[in-house]
A and B are shown apart, each in its own frame.
Chain A
Amino acid sequence: MSLASLESSRTEAAQAVSLSGLSKAYGPIEALAPLSLTVAAGETVAILGPSGSGKTTLLLLLSGQLGPSSGAVTLVGREIAQLSPGKELAQLVGMIHQQFDLVPNISALHNVLAGRLGEWGLFKSLVSLVWPQDRPMGMEALARVGVADRAELRAGRLSGGEQQRVAIARLLLQDPAIVLADEPVASLDQARAGEVIRLLVRIARDSGKTLISSMHSVELARAHFDRLIGLRNGIVQFDLPSSQVADDMLLALYDIKGLRRED
C-alpha cells in the first residue's frame, strides 16, 4: 500500500472541527472560557497568545486527551466523547508536540512505522520489531519530510529539526483527518523552525488535512497559516484570516498588563 492510496481512502467532510460552548476549568481557575467555533476541512489555523493563555488546554481538549468542563468537541461530524480512545480517535486526530516525543533508542524508520500500530494486528506489530512492516510506506514518508537518509539511525541521535520531521512522518502514516500541533517548533532555532513549519503546512495542504497549531512565533503564524486565533486569559480576542490581523491586535494580545498572575 502506498501513502497516496492511504490518503485518498478517507473522505473529506466540510466541517473538520466544531466546538460548542467548550470550556475547561482547573478548580477555581478558568483555563478556557466557553468557546464556540468551527474549522473547515483543509483549513490551517494558528493559535496565538502569551503562555498560560489556554492554547495547550484547547489543543488537549481537541485531541481528546482532556475532558471539557462543559460543552462538546465534534470532529468530522462525530462527537469526541462518543469515540473510543485508541484506533478510532487516532484516525480522526493526531498530535505533534514541542518535544517531538520519539522513542529515542529505536530507528527513525521504526518510529515512523509506529504510526501504523493502530492499524496493525499484534502479530504484525511483533514481526515488525525484527522485520519492519510496510517499509516502503515508511520510507516514502521519510523522503517526503526530507530525512530518508536518516531512516536507519536511532531517533535519539538525530538533530531537533530532524526529529520533528520524523514525528511529522509518523503522523503521515497515522493519517488522521485533523493534525494538531502544540508549539511544534518552539525548541528549534529560527531557520529550522521556518523550514519545519513550511513543511508541516505544505503537507497539510497537499493532503487536504486540517491543521491547528499553537504558535509561539507570530511572524511564522502570519506568514504560513490561513487563519489566526488570539487567546488571552482563556478568552478569544480575535479570530480572523491572517491578512486581517493588525499589528495593534497582536500588541494588545501580548501586553503584560492585565495578564493573570499565575501565568
Chain B
Amino acid sequence: MARRRRKNRRKDGTTAPLRLTSMMDILTVLLLFLLKSFVVEGEVITPVPGVDLPESSSDAAPQASVVVAIFDNTVMLDGQMVTRLENGSSDDGLLIAPLADRLNQTRAKELEIAQLRGEDVDYSPKIAIQGDRDISFEVLERVMYTCNQSGFGDIALAVIGAS
C-alpha cells in the first residue's frame, strides 16, 4: 500500500491528478449510442403511459401519425384525454362523438399545414392506435370506425415488435 501511495506521488512531492481519459471514452461512446437511438429509421412511437401494448411478430416501422391511445375504456388523442367510454357502448352507435370532433380539428390543422407547405395533394391522414392488450374488440371497433368517419382511413395498430 505504502509503495503504491509512493508510486502515485511525483518526484517533486505533488499528488498526480485523477486520470479521466478512460471515463471520458466511456461517456463519449454512451453519448454516441444514445444520440444514435434518436436517429433511427422511420418514426419512433413512445408507448403512452398506462398502455400495455400487445406483442407481435410485425417489424413494420411506424410512420409519423396522430396517436390514439385506448386503455381502461379511456380514449386519448396525442397524449390528451378525450373521453371515457361507459361499458364500451353508447346510444350514438359506433361513433365516439368527442373523438370525432377532436380528430376533425386535428385533420383540419394538418391539412392547413400541408397546404402551407404545398403538400396538400399528397396529404393522407395517418393514425396509429395504441391499444392496451386487454381492451375489447367492441371498444377498438368504435375507435376505428370513428377514425374512418373522420377521414383517417390509414390506420396502423401499434405493437411491441420482436426485438
A binds B: no
Chain A residues with CB under 8 Å of chain B are none
